[in-house]
Amino acid sequence: MNTIPLAPSASVIGRRPRSADSLGRERLLDLAVGLFAERGIAITTIAQIATAANLTPAMVHYWFQTREKLLDAVFDERVAPLIRHIWEPADPEHQGALDLLRGLLVRMLEVTERMPWLPSLWLREIIQEGGLFRNRVHNRIPRERNIAFRKNIAAAQARGEINPNLVPELLLITMLGLVMLPLAASAAKEPVRAGLAIDRTQIDRHVMSLLMHGLTGTAPPSCSGTSTAATVGSVDRNRLEV
């Protein structure tokens, strides 16, 4: 199956009908990843996940046997497909640098829109030292493409296409930070600044403008009221394939 998992109630074109047993497992994964993002993996218990699903802990163990196998399933079936969706369409050996960066950024915004738990999970369990998904993500980043990505950026800098003061090795993590941090802050129960009310369209426009025009050093055109899709081209948000 190549479609990024959605909540069980959502309709996904091309998804095969599932048994009640399979749907119950999918629902547990959705609830678990949401609790992990909200509370952190270390302090989220099997009992809490079971309670959220109106089940007994024994039923969670029926599907996943151990806590470690539950973590493996959450990562493999909820997080890893997002990494593939971001990276697989990229062709750092042949794409122009700006097209490459724009595509990566659009897909980052896509997955965070469809999976709103991702920014908080990324901050808690991937970027922080000691995060329980940190090593799993590190092992899934396509190393050869990552190296080709940095070479692509460096070559574009040498040609004068991209700001020469940028550090290629820091660019990808900077992009992730620009996407994840504002979204995680906007979703927080207690916003960083009282009265902060920023909607998703504003965040997308801000991130896209800040990165793409910071890359070239050119003044951005007015894009007030435009969405990410309008800025970078049509995006099919109904089905994300990996």
Kindly list the structural domains of the chain, giving each domain's residue range(s) and its CATH number in brackets, ordered by start.
Answer: 69-232 (1.10.357.10)
Report residue 117 as tokens. Answer: 């738990």
Q: How confident is the model at residue 154 (pLDDT cuts 50, 70, 90)?
A: very high
Reduced to 3 DSSP states, what percent helix, strand and coil does the chain have, rounded to the nearest 5?
60, 0, 40
List all residues 6 or more positions away from 22 whose beta carbon is below 8 Å from its beta carbon: none
Specify the pLDDT at position 9.
Answer: 35
Least confident window among 162-166, 188-192, 226-230: 226-230
Q: Is residue 74 scored above 70 in pLDDT? A: yes
Q: CA-based Rg of the chain, rounded to a whole angstrom?
A: 19
Give 83's Cβ-side CA count (13 Å radius).
20
Helix axes 200-216 and 168-187, enclosed angle (nearest 10)? 160
Most confident range, picked from 1-15, 114-128, 210-224: 114-128
Burial class (CB in 10 A: 0-12, 13-18, 19+), 209: middle
What's the mean pLDDT in 123-138? 89
- Tell me: pLDDT of 146 over 60: yes
Each residue's pLDDT tens digit, 90-99:
999 999 999 9
Q: Is the pLDDT of residue 217 over 80?
A: no
- DSSP-assigned letter for residue 125: I
Does position 23 have pLDDT exceeding 90, yes or no? Answer: no
